[in-house]
């Protein structure tokens, strides 16, 4: 019995797999962390906040499951919402990002609430801020600042 033509030509096998099963390749999900910073607070405080952008650069939905900083016991994602004429914070429960979607964390909006801080970091220090998701963990070096970096639009005269 003679081997089939596919069996003798590996490139034909690959081409056939791509044509027939291209959709069977696993979808990739990945998060990109940009422009992160941690708010400097006076010594003795047990909480601070972190801000930046988290973008799903993959081609499948991505669930954010956790975040961490070496000096914090835990981090929760919160948003500021209007309630009875005032603002209050509430936990964000759905942290699923569609492909291409960005979660922007800013003062007065969605943010990371950094809790259980025994020794408040000082302005100018940097720490690895990590975000865990269903695809794995991404980390970035985040500076401690009193105020965040100026946006490109905030210093232009109009």
- How far is the C-alpha of 111 from the C-alpha of 125, rounded, in Å? 20
Q: What is the pTM of this model?
A: 0.76
- How far is the C-alpha of 140 from the C-alpha of 31, rounded, in Å? 11
Report how far apart the first and last C-alpha atoms of the chain are (Å, whole number): 81
CATH for 31-145 is: 2.60.40.1890
Sequence ranges of the domains in the chain? 31-145
Write out pLDDT tens, residues 118-135: 999 999 999 999 999 998
Q: What angle do CA 51, 53, 56 make, to 5 degrees?
A: 145
- How far is the C-alpha of 27 from the C-alpha of 153, rounded, in Å? 36
Write out pLDDT tens, residues 75-94: 999 998 887 888 888 899 88
């Amino acid at each position: 019995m003679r081997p089939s033509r596919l069996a003798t030509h590996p490139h034909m096998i690959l081409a056939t797999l791509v044509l027939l099963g291209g959709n069977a390749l696993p979808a990739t999900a990945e998060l990109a962390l940009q422009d992160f910073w941690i708010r400097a607070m006076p010594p003795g405080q047990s909480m601070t906040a972190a801000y930046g952008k988290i973008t799903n650069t993959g081609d499948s939905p991505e669930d954010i499951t956790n975040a961490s900083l070496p000096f914090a016991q835990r981090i929760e994602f919160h948003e500021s919402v209007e309630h009875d004429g005032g603002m209050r914070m509430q936990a964000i429960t759905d942290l699923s990002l569609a492909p291409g979607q960005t979660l922007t964390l800013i003062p007065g909006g969605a943010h990371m609430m950094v809790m259980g801080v025994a020794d408040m970091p000082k302005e100018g220090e940097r720490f690895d801020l990590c975000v865990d998701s269903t695809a794995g963990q991404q980390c970035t070096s985040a500076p401690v600042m009193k105020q965040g970096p100026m946006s490109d639009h905030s210093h232009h005269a109009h």
